[in-house]
Structure 1
């Protein structure tokens, strides 16, 4: 009941009502007009109760001497000598600070639920009995290690395992972040939560339940979330010595004033005034008001900052780790090279033949080839006898001639000859991280078509600008080392860690943090979620990133514009500087006000007004962040 009352009174609506009555009290104080009772009593009740409740619960249950305790003491002392406006003023200012801080630390928790929802619920188990092979659909909880499961095209793999029969292509971006489906055949590993794109396969179960890759991913997100400490007010961090110092100066002011022959009421006034001006209200407002203004500034540029802690930490970041696919690259496959290997076939004809054959395929590489041909307005003819060999390639008949499109291994099965120059060329393409489609016609190799993800136009300038800000840049990706190294070299990243599973990315982040780095992780995939959580700051690509990555991150770029990263760093740096400046100003004002209180220049009411002026100054300075230019 007491907690519910505290929560009700601490809300924005009651705080507004509290402020209204405080204004009335000030008007009556200046005009000298009386009233049935001082309206400041309402302010004390509405804003003072939550403050007192917080101070007592922290002191009794958490053994925590907080700034709320000092303000409660000042409020009680002011009431004791009849200075109700001063009591109401300090309570109201702290209520405003609490509301502003609460707005800056609200964090969404939906991401983990979405990650859990990706877990497959059923599996197709293969049983052998005297009557023949049978299938049964069973809950994933009933699948045991060693069971044989059949996975049809389009189905999600429910366990970790090894392919025992069949060939296919697996979309395992949820685990590794790879931009392309990975061709798989007998003996290859498959992971829970990944999607079987094409062929029907049978797998032998290796890891189930809590041991599966997806469940490990979920646990890593949970563990990383638990490692994130909540933001504490600076005033509360200092309260352990702030309270006794304030009480000591207040008692000393009372004793010295009385000892010098002043009346006891004058001595009490000075003691209470010290407590009022000592209250760290401006100090408490320094952080949340600056953060609120900076968050508003960032929102205008399409950046959603979920917490004040993230903004503060971003200002301290000295190492930024990028995912590759969908972050530094556009995440879309495009044809990069069309290379004829036969003098009788030109580029257009090679592309026309390949597009005509691939037009019947649903593979992402095939779709990219067909889209490229259409974009160049190259004719796509009819094809007959289309056949797809999952994980290998396709065959089709065009104008009575057999055409093969696929991997080196696929063409070798058809005994298509390839000379050493072809292998040299293919190796060159592989070092550039490109996917390769070989095209053969009537038993002869006629050309190569390569596809690749493309770098964002701003990637190089962003990395260069971050280097200029003394920020280390690291590439963390699930792609092969050759592809990662090629892209990293183009944009100027020297530190590359490739072929990483989600746990490897987490380990890399943890290793960087052990080296004393403040790390920001930028990614877009489900596989990035644990690393985003563990990093000091996680930044997700908002429009093309997965919902889980966005929810796991502290900051989201709604426009996927990575050129906003340097802007975000400058904004965060300015916010940290503003917070430090506000703290310095508030403490300076408090120090001067304490001297004036001890010497009797200020009384509880004028002290409260000076105290209020300091709070207003801090808020106004913080508000300047909203319109400053950082781009």
Structure 2
């Protein structure tokens, strides 16, 4: 869907001072209709505006001495553009509701489906061993015997939904295809064929239902939002340990160092360093003070706070993430693969041919053969085999593709969105710049002092410094206990000298001057690095620049993606503006948004889709889960990806090499190319068989041979994908 399609204007009728304009977006305004009307009427040259959601038109009364029709159309488009995300969501929901009527498989349990498979298998065994009657009954009378009635009963939900789609939706769905094959087989006396089709269908449903159940469970298990019990602050200022379920809006809870925050709320007492990476994606813990908001699922790295609960239970941010993921899984745009679409369109042709043959010959067997020798078998198998082979090849290369429709969507993508931390970058801060300001001191000595001050800290910046010292083989000198000042830094004593390491404010509060090193400081900050000051006693002795380095091969990955026709590459991150700007510039990324919450990322996805973009979202964390679900294709990348990201994603890349992304897109494009070749073969050969069979030139047995030959050809062509080489 493109913006131009939704906002394309057409003048239906006009007279002096009045015009009726058709624009499709008006059909999907819903409750926004009156708001848009009022907004239009506020324009000085518009006297009145009336929108019809049924016809998708608006009647505008205006002063024609101040404006022309072109001005009105431009104004209308600009006005609706502000609501484009809501309009696009409404259109997608409408299309999903009206394209097909599909059974809700998530309402069936795996146990119920297994029971149906067992019963079908028993009936299939019975039909293999029963003796064929001397004068078999064919046609509609075959339905009314215990054997076929049992088969019809098992196939009831499929047949009911298939017919229901035809009646209510005026078009067939996947169940209509199965229903046609099952009923045709029964009418021709081929109970074994009908049962085989049903078993295959039920087995497919079993895998689908199991996957749905597993995905929902994994999301809820992995998004553990906090402690089972919390410390509630009572009215008498004592604390009491209570179950999280007892906490209500307005209650105050006390959270200590190392604990998870279990509610969304506001800090009313205390100060703490809080790791918000599970929600925002920013890898650095940040300081939170009285009056600032905190989120359930985040962890206190240092400090104690009292939080007044504002959102509890399902209202919490992390619970909204669960809902976003689940809603997207069940309301994702209805991407029909080639087989479903094309086969559904050709089903009426088979019925028409059957009717024509019966009318001409009065021979029910010849008429029924028009349904046996149909397009749907070859077309469906041509796609199924190709998709299966592609998924197999991807799996052998450490890439899990969750469904065949995602391969088709990968081939269409024109926009890729990257998360930053752990996707474009490694997610592990490291020391990039070492600037010794004391000319009599070496780098290793300065790093030894810094490591001494940070030795007992688990802060990501401290880990980066300690790793640098370890890589250089630096021995950490003996020192006194470390004194931590929250949101400032740490200090220790080495050989009688006080070593301080931290931010600029920490230095200033201890009387250490930094102004004379303005140029050195500005140089580090200009590279987007986090600046750490190191002082000995009252003198600044060095600067460290810490950053999260880009992944190996990420630049090469972006270049290859552009070569595959990706028009736009976007960075969406919860990290700070400076870090986002720096990495976007280094990677030549087209645009970026920073300091985003998970729901903000999802809104950005929808905004791009509303403009016609086919979006791939690549991420690795819990905070990426909603965006991964709302994108046309969600890709979870790397061995460090969270399980919830993997469950929310449509494609999971188990290895850390981002070059796998362009390779899997290349595989998808090759798969679609082979499917098109299969379509040509299946349609051509089966058309030949149907024409000859309908005219009586070719006996039914030979028509069947030709039909099965097309199947062999498309399978053989599809199996070439098993040998496809991924280069990453």
What band does the TM-score fall into relative to the shorter chain?
Answer: 0.7 to 0.9
**TM-score, normalising length from structure 1?**
0.86
**Once the 2 structures are TM-superposed, how far is the Cα of residue 407 of structure 1 from its aligned partner?**
1.2
Aligned partner (choices 306, 319, 336) of residue 215 of structure 1: 319
In structure 2, how many angstroms separate the alpha carbons of the residues matched to 1:628 and 1:20? Answer: 41
- 1:626 maps to which residue? 722
Measured at CA, do residues 139 and 398 of structure 1 come closer, stay the same or move farther in structure 2, by a change above 3 Å?
same
Tell me, yes or no, if structure 1 residue 195 matches structure 2 residue 195.
no
| Partner-residue secondary structure (3-state), 1:219 | helix
Are residue 551 (structure 1) and residue 647 (structure 2) matched? yes
Q: Report the counterpart of residue 599 of structure 2 in structure 1.
A: 503
Q: Secondary structure at the match of 2:279?
A: helix
The answer on whether the counterparts of 2:339 and 2:383 sit within 8 Å (CA) in structure 1 is no
Structure 1 contact 502–528 (Cα < 8 Å) conserved: yes
Partner secondary structure for residue 570 of structure 2: strand
CA contact (8 A) 2:186 2:194 kept: no
Is the CA contact 1:286–1:619 (under 8 Å) kept in the aligned structure 2? yes
Q: Quote the residue 1:458 is aligned against.
A: 553
Q: Report how far residue 162 of structure 1 moved.
A: 3.2
1:126 match: 233
Q: CA deviation at 1:506?
A: 0.6
Shift in CA distance, 203/103, structure 1 to aligned 2, threshold 3 Å: closer
**1:367 is matched with which residue: 463, 469, 473?**
463
- What SS class does the counterpart of residue 601 from structure 1 fall into? coil
8 A Cα contact 2:402 2:650, kept in partner: yes
Distance 1:20-1:542 versus aligned 2 partners, 3 A rule: farther
Alignment of 1:249-260 (within 5 A): 249-256=353-360, 258=361
Q: Could you tell me which residue of structure 2 aligns to residue 355 of structure 1?
A: 451
| 1:573-588 equivalence runs, <5 A | 573-588=669-684
Looking at structure 1, the residues matched to 235 and 521 of structure 2 have their Cα atoms a distance apart, in angstroms, of: 44
- Secondary structure at the counterpart of residue 383 of structure 1: coil
Map 1:232-311 to 2 at 5 A: 232=336, 234=338, 236-237=340-341, 242-256=346-360, 258=361, 267-278=363-374, 280-311=376-407
Partner of residue 414, structure 1: 510
In structure 1, how many angstroms separate the alpha carbons of the residues matched to 2:162 and 2:148? 21
Offset, 1:515: 1.0
- CA–CA distance in 1 between the matches of 2:611 and 2:475? 57
Match of 1:29 in 2: none
Change (3 A) 1:37 1:391: farther
Corresponding residue for residue 524 of structure 2: 429
Q: 1:17 to 1:628 in 2, by over 3 A?
A: farther
Q: Report the CA distance shift for 1:233/1:466 in structure 2 as closer, same or farther (over 3 A).
A: closer
Count residues with an aligned counterpart. Answer: 600
Q: Is 1:447 matched up with 2:537?
A: no
Of 228, 235, 244, the match for 1:140: 244
Residue 396 to residue 499, structure 1, CA distance change in 2 (3 Å): same
Task: Name the stretch that deviates more: 140-149 or 407-416.
Answer: 140-149
Conservation of the 8 A alpha-carbon contact between 2:232 and 2:241: yes
Q: Larger deviation: 539-548 or 456-465?
A: 539-548
Match of 1:228 in 2: 332
**2:483 is the counterpart of 1:397:** no
Q: Which among 178, 193, 201 is matched to residue 282 of structure 2? A: 178
Q: Which moved more, 1:111-120 or 1:517-526?
A: 111-120
How far residue 325 of structure 1 moved from its aligned partner, in angstroms, is 0.8
> Deviation digits for residues 571-619 of structure 1, max 9, x if unmatched?
1111222223222321222211111101213233322222222222222
Question: Conserved in 1, the CA contact under 8 Å of 2:120 and 2:195?
Answer: no
Q: Mark the CA change 1:48 to 1:126 in structure 2 (over 3 Å): closer, same or farther.
A: closer
Q: Which has the higher contact order (CA 8 A, sep 6+)?
A: 1
Distance 1:202 1:439 in 2: 32
Deviation by residue 1:161-203 (Cα, 9 ceiling, x = unmatched):
3334433211110111111222333443322110001122233
CA distance in 1, matches of 2:113, 2:245: 45
Q: How many angstroms apart in 2 are the aligned matches of 1:48 and 1:528?
A: 46
SS at match of 1:496: strand
1:58 has 2:153 as partner: no
| Matching residue of 2:253 | 149
Specify which of 606, 615, 619 is matched with residue 711 of structure 2. 615
* Alpha carbons 1:458, 1:562 under 8 Å: kept: yes
Q: Is the 8 A contact 2:116 2:154 kept in 1?
A: no
Task: Call closer, same or farther: CA 1:426–1:145 in 2, change over 3 Å.
Answer: farther
Cα distance in structure 2, aligned partners of 1:307 and 1:463: 25
1:67 is matched with which residue: 148, 173, 177? 177
Q: Which residue matches 2:221?
A: 114
Q: Secondary structure at the match of 2:656?
A: coil
Does the aligned pair in 2 maintain the 1:75–1:91 contact within 8 Å?
no
CA contact (8 A) 2:183 2:194 kept: no
* 1:503 alignment partner, SS class: helix
- Tell me which of 469, 478, 482 is aligned to 2:574: 478
Contact 1:90 1:281 in 2 (8 A): no
Note if contact 2:263-2:310 (Cα within 8 Å) is conserved in structure 1.
Answer: yes
Equivalent position SS for 2:589: coil
Cα distance, 1:60 vs. partner?
5.1
Whether the aligned pair in 2 keeps the contact of 1:335 and 1:449 (CA below 8 Å) is yes
Q: Return 5+ residue gaps in structure 2 as ranges.
A: 1-107, 137-141
In structure 2, the CA distance between the partners of 1:68 and 1:214, relative to structure 1 (3 Å rule), is closer
CA distance, structure 1, for counterparts of residue 633 and residue 713 of structure 2? 30
